[in-house]
Amino acid sequence: MKLKIILLSLITTLSLQAQTNKKKVNTDGLFATITTNKGTILLQLEYQKSPITVANFITLVEGNNPYVTTSDLKGKPFYDGLKFHRVIADFMIQGGDPLGNGSGGPGYSFKDEFNDALRFDKGGILAMANSGPKTNGSQFFITHKDTPWLNDKHTIFGHVTEGMDVVNQILMDDVITKVTITRKGSDAKKFDAKKIFTTYYENKAEDEKKEALLAEEKKKQAAALALEKEKEYKLKYAPVITAKATELSESKKTATTTPTGLMYKITSKGSGEKPAEGSTLYFHYAGYFEDGSLFDSSKEEIATAYGKHDNNRAAQGGYSAFPFPVGRQDGMIPGFTEALSLLNYGDKGIFYIPSNLAYGERGAGGVIPPNATLIFEIEVYKEQPAPKS
């Protein structure tokens, strides 16, 4: 019996040693260990996909970043002793601000590094906090879960490999007691963080000029492509656009003008019942420019006829009559609100809305140009009409 106990003890010991040894075997790479008052977080750094960001982080961790301007942190481990100053439950934990209020940093900023292979598709993603493009400094955050809306807005430069339970326990003002860097494998050991970041920063101004020129060139190419597509579109749909322009122009000749300057013509009369104040009416619309081109419609068949059909909108039920509280004065351009007030249930009309009753000098969303007169065909319903099959 004693022998069995000894053998069992020996087997258990060997098994534990094997598990311990297995746990210690990690893949090659660059790793950061963040020790906090709640425990330790181990992160693998994406030095090949986000080299500038990782180089910045490592030089701050190891206290050899030459561009730090904060006197009491220059030449010292930057993160040691700082707090997690921002924690949002079920979202992320954020640290790295020497001021502890979200406004501090190392005294410089650097560019973003976005990579299609690095996505906010799980918890434990390590990324840079920023206040806009190219404003990265020292602040970082670690996510609790997938946050896809952050893709290509915040540079990802690592992920948690151990200690996610610690991440989930962190509260605001918990302390980063120490951060250390571990290099495993020849490639990781060759990664000279100080040299990489210094080379980038010394050439930053010139690189930004090149990036600006490249961005401007891409913008011109995109504009040229958009113009070419617009020409192709107008050529293809010229017959329907021209016919609509003629129709709208002819209708305008017999339109009535209201004191505000809105012009309208009732093209089809309904029941004659006036929508009661406080009730909800439903309306379909089609919006045109004076040249007969369509900019939007709630009717799927009209959008299709003009080559403007949106499959996503259709899938989400976007081609349906809109509900509107009778008497409401906000939420729409003044001319459209006035147009609705002129219609009875079942009526259909054409409305010519001058720019001062539409979007004026500012235009709208790159779709409505400044000072544009808008023409709407509107039809009003007492109940939501059934979709066409």
Computed from CA positions of residues 26, 27, 33, 36, in that sequence, does the dihedral angle turn out positive or negative?
Answer: negative
Nearest CA among 52, 212, 48 for reference residue 137: 52
Q: How many CB atoms lie within 10 A of CB 330?
A: 6
Determine which one of 130, 151, 344, 371 is catalytic. Answer: 130
- Tokens standing for residue 194: 């100080």
Q: Which of helix, strand or coil describes residue 358? A: coil
Is residue 85 among the annotated active site residues? no
Determine which one of 91, 114, 309, 313 is catalytic. Answer: 91
Q: Can you list the pairs that 354-360 forms with residues at least 24 positions away whose Cβ atoms lie under 8 Å?
A: 354/261, 354/262, 356/261, 357/260, 357/261, 357/262, 357/333, 358/333, 359/333
Determine which one of 110, 141, 157, 376 is catalytic. Answer: 141
Determine which one of 43, 84, 136, 154 is catalytic. Answer: 154
Determine which one of 114, 150, 309, 342 is catalytic. Answer: 150
Run of H or E residues at 248: helix 238-252
- Tokens standing for residue 206: 């010139």
What does the DSSP 8-state code read for residue 104? Answer: -
Determine which one of 30, 43, 56, 86 is catalytic. Answer: 86
Q: How far apart are CA 339 and CA 323, in angstroms?
A: 15
- Tokens standing for residue 204: 């930053």
Is residue 119 among the annotated active site residues? no
Determine which one of 44, 56, 65, 94 is catalytic. Answer: 94
Run of H or E residues at 88: strand 86-88
Is residue 283 among the annotated active site residues? no
DSSP 256-298: EE-TTS-EEEEEE----PPPPTTSEEEEEEEEE-TTS-EEEES
Residue 340: C-alpha distances to residues 139, 350, 358 (Å): 52, 11, 14
Residue 380 · residue 345 · CB < 8 Å: yes
In the chain, DSSP assigns E strands to: 29-36, 39-45, 86-88, 92-95, 125-128, 140-143, 156-162, 176-184, 256-257, 263-268, 280-288, 294-297, 322-325, 348-353, 374-381
Is residue 86 among the annotated active site residues? yes
- Tokens standing for residue 292: 């007969």
In 185-279, DSSP assigns E strands to: 256-257, 263-268
Residues labelled as active-site residues: 86, 91, 94, 130, 141, 150, 154
